[in-house]
Amino acid sequence: MLVNITISDLAVVDQLDLDLEPGMSVLTGETGAGKSILLTALGLALGDRADSGYIRPNCKRAEINIEFDLHDAPAAQNWLQENELDDEQHCLIRRVINQDGRSKAYINNRPVTLQTLQDLSRQLVEIHGQHAHLTLLNGEEQRRLLDGFAANDNMLDELNAVYRSWNQSRRELDKLLKSRDDRNEREELLSYQLEELRHLDLDHFDYPALAEEHNTLANLGQILNVGQQQLDILYENEQQSVNQMLNHSIQALTDLSRYSSDLGAIAEQLNGAQIQIDEASHQLRRYLESQEADPQRLNWLDEEIGIVHNLTRKHHCEPEALPETALQMEQELNNLTHSDERIEALQQQCEQLLQKYRQQAEKLSRRRQQYGQQLSDRISAMIRDLGMPHGEFIVTVDYEENAKPTLNGNDRIEFLVSANPGLPAKPLAKVASGGELSRISLAIQVTTSTDKTTPTMIFDEVDSGIGGGIAEIVGQKMRSLSENRQVMCVTHLPQVAAQAHHHLFVAKNNNKNMTSSTVRSLSEDERISEIARMLGGVKLTEKTLAHAREMLNSGDSIQ
């Protein structure tokens, strides 16, 4: 469960260090006091997207730390161990938001990605927002709620894996069938283009070497002429060669070395240079002697490089990529040549996967129908408790046997309701008023949460649109949920607040021209005053206080 939340410089919160208790806790306060900021902070700590707008004015960064006791969260413990982030029975999550909009997340003081943080959060907290009744009208949300209630995750994973395999095979089959009509024309074109490429002897194709040889032969006259000139300058001119001049310098400096040993060292360096020049001259001579004009070879190289350039323009690639281009064309040609065999194999594969999909989809549908009836009965009973005495909730699961496979099965799932006797059940959006929809939504959330293992549940004003005795029943339902988990509820209803084990109060302060909000736990006497305020009195009378005291005593008497 969530045991502590610490907030620094987040929106209207300057500093907050709040310990939380097991059971049911309510969060109340005047409108605009900042009740939502606590849930905003929790959302950010659990992986919601962040930006610099969350940072309190004139502050460099915002920081949220939340701590969980994992004794009641075995799934989270296992997840932390598998990801090597465990720290015995506690989990500390930290989120820092900087002025540049970037944020950092940590689990047990180890940096993690936002996705990793979100994966862990699903094991720890479940948040029901105040607009949950709007998403309830969406068909996919209704499907998700039923599957969650029926614990269909494993069956869905298996079914969707088959669907993806079938879909991939079907798309490949459709592509082959579509291309079969112009296959012969494509085969002829590929065969012709491959024959052109094979003239290049692609197994031994080396374009850089080919280009270098062509460049050498094309400029051989200049190479021989300039090369011989340099050989003369370096070595073969007996009167003015570099080698001869070095001889003179070495001899002169060697004679002078008897006067200074430093000159002897210089002479040695020049001697090394003369050896290098001698070696280079011999190599240059051997190279020039090995060169021989070959007009036929040059003509062949001209033609070959011309062919290469034409092919690169045709295939829109670099010369070095021609072998790979040919390989790809061979593979395509091979696929076309054997496409009939591949089509037949894919047709069989698609049929087998389709049969497997329909078997699993039908099995899933039967389970949905079974649990759909249970969910219908439970929610029907609960909405009657919530002020719809003749209400009937129906979950319909229609299996479309020959429909095209889709993700999550071939069922059309719809939530229907009849609010008055004698009237047929119709889709939620067509029969439920705002207040009725809020109550139905709350009934669904409470019902589908009963069998979940999430240790902490948060309800953000999901009781809007109801009041009076119904609100008291809502509070009782939430209190019953808290018997085996931690429940937190943001509410404006005194009937709900009176059912809580713990009461947190949000207050707004205006100090130093800067608004800030604080959250603190109320004592028993303070709870009476707050419940009385929520009952509707600017001025608290003894009568209102007595009513608040009675409501609290009534809530405490419920076990």
Q: Minimum mean pLDDT among 104-113, 177-186, 540-549: which range? A: 177-186
What is the band of 452 on the pLDDT scale with cuts at 50, 70, 90? low
Percentage of residues of the chain with pLDDT beyond 70: 94
User: Which of 14-18, 139-143, 245-249, 351-355 has the highest mean predicted lDDT (pLDDT)?
Assistant: 351-355
Dihedral (CA of 421, 425, 430, 432) sign: positive
- Rounded distance, CA 449 to CA 156, Å? 20
Residue 450 pLDDT > 80: no
Contact 417, 437 (CB under 8 A): no
Query: Each residue of 317-333: pLDDT tens digit?
Result: 888 888 888 888 888 77
> For 85, phi and psi rounded to 5 degrees?
-125, 10
- Rounded distance, CA 472 to CA 450, Å? 19
What is the band of 154 on the pLDDT scale with cuts at 50, 70, 90? very high
Instruction: Give the per-residue pLDDT at 323.
Output: 85
Q: For residue 533, which of 551, 558, 509 has the smallest C-alpha distance?
A: 551
Query: Each residue of 402-418: pLDDT tens digit?
Result: 899 999 999 999 999 98
CA count, 13 A, side-chain hemisphere, 5:
22
Q: Per residue, what are the HEC states of 330-363?
A: HHHHHHHHCHHHHHHHHHHHHHHHHHHHHHHHHH
> For 482, phi and psi rounded to 5 degrees?
-80, 0
Q: For residue 133, which of 412, 489, 419, 436 has the smallest C-alpha distance?
A: 436
Residue with tokens 């070395």: 257
Residue 559 pLDDT > 60: no
Look at 553 and 514; give whichever has higher pLDDT: 553
Residue 308 pLDDT > 80: yes
Instruction: Give the per-residue pLDDT at 130.
Output: 61
Q: Which amino acid is at 363?
A: K
Instruction: Give the per-residue pLDDT at 414.
Output: 93
Instruction: Give the per-residue pLDDT at 189.
Output: 81
Instruction: Give the per-residue pLDDT at 36.
Output: 77
Where are the chain's structural domains?
A: 1-128+454-522, 184-337, 528-559
Q: Minimum mean pLDDT among 56-60, 379-383, 453-457, 531-535: which range? A: 453-457
| C-alpha pair distances (Å), 425 with each of 382, 392, 421, 442 | 17, 8, 10, 19
Instruction: Give the per-residue pLDDT at 331.
Output: 82
What is the band of 432 on the pLDDT scale with cuts at 50, 70, 90? low
DSSP-assigned states of every residue in 245-291: HHHHHHHHHHHHTTT-HHHHHHHHHHHHHHHHHHHHHHHHHHHHHH-
Instruction: Give the per-residue pLDDT at 96.
Output: 94
Residue 503 pLDDT > 90: yes
Instruction: Give the per-residue pLDDT at 514.
Output: 67
Query: Each residue of 237-263: pLDDT tens digit?
Result: 877 888 888 888 999 999 898 888 889
Instruction: Give the per-residue pLDDT at 181.
Output: 63
Q: For residue 226, which of 284, 295, 292 has the smallest C-alpha distance?
A: 284
Which residues does 32 contact at the CB level (< 8 Å), separation at least 6?
508
User: In the predicted model, what is the mean pLDDT of residues 472-487?
Assistant: 86
Instruction: Give the per-residue pLDDT at 91.
Output: 92
Q: For residue 105, which of 120, 86, 87 has the smallest C-alpha distance?
A: 120
- The end-to-end CA distance of the chain, in Å, is 21
Instruction: Give the per-residue pLDDT at 12.
Output: 82
Q: For residue 91, which of 458, 521, 503, 455 has the smallest C-alpha distance?
A: 455
User: In the predicted model, what is the mean pLDDT of residues 268-272?
Assistant: 91
Q: What is the mean pLDDT of the chain?
A: 86
Enter the pTM of the model: 0.60
DSSP state, residue 202: G
Domain 1-128+454-522 has CATH 3.40.50.300: yes
What is the band of 431 on the pLDDT scale with cuts at 50, 70, 90? low
Q: Minimum mean pLDDT among 60-74, 188-202, 516-530: which range? A: 188-202
